[in-house]
Structure 1
Amino acid sequence: MSGPAREALQALYQNTLRTSQSFASYNFRSYFVQRTNDAFRAANAEQDPSKLKEFMDEKTKELEVLKRSAIINQMYGGRKLVVETPEDMPLPKKMERGDT
């Protein structure tokens, strides 16, 4: 792969990874980060320029969809999961039957 094509692929990877990490929901964020890494790892070994061009076009369109999806997810993200709580933050106390 030539220099400019590799640089363009690297820039697309970084933009897609950055967008994937911007999801508010832990599950979506983890899924899209892993999916991005897997897709670009497979494309990194590709040598055929026509397949790389097709891959870049497809991933550019997917990036636009991913950006819109991340914005919506940030607006309606919901509560944090247990795996997302910082370790120094105490977990809520378990309520007893007599507690109100």
Structure 2
Amino acid sequence: MAVAAPTKEALLSLYSSTLRTSRVFSSYNFREYFVRRTKSQFREIQDETDSAKISAFYNERVKELQVLKRSAIVNQLYGGWRLVIEKDLPKGSQEVMTRSDS
């Protein structure tokens, strides 16, 4: 019996949902890790033609998406401090660095 593979639209929808959820994390390190991981996982399956493998991949990623959504909520509750790398400067302004002894 042949396994029906999910459509390209279903895979793209899952990909975009996973990326969207990954970007919800308040912690920079978690957010960047899950974005990189999502892109990497979907890139690996991109050229796969075996419908059984694609179907297994899809089902596993759907389960992971549910876990990711719950984890993102918890991370938003207990996110912690922003990192220096996350500092946003207003557009058009440049930070001027001055010496403290001048």
Aligned-pair distance for 1:85? 0.6
TM-score by length of 1: 0.83
Where in structure 2 are there 5+ consecutive unaligned residues?
Answer: 1-5, 96-102
Who is 1:39 aligned against?
41
Distance in 2 between the 1:50 and 1:44 partners?
A: 14
Query: What is the count of residue pairs matched by the alignment?
Result: 89
Q: Which has the higher helix share?
A: 1
Query: Is the aligned partner of 1:67 residue 2:69?
Result: yes
SS in 2 for 1:86: coil
SS in 2 for 1:19: helix
TM-score by length of 2: 0.81
Identity, in percent, stands at 54
Where in structure 1 are there 5+ consecutive unaligned residues?
Answer: 91-100
- Runs of 4+ residues deviating >2 angstroms: 87-90
CA shift digits 1:54-91 (9 cap, x unpaired): 0000000000000000000000001100000113497x
What is the root-mean-square deviation in Å for CA atoms of aligned residues? 1.9
SS in 2 for 1:34: helix
Distance in 2 between the 1:8 and 1:79 partners?
A: 36
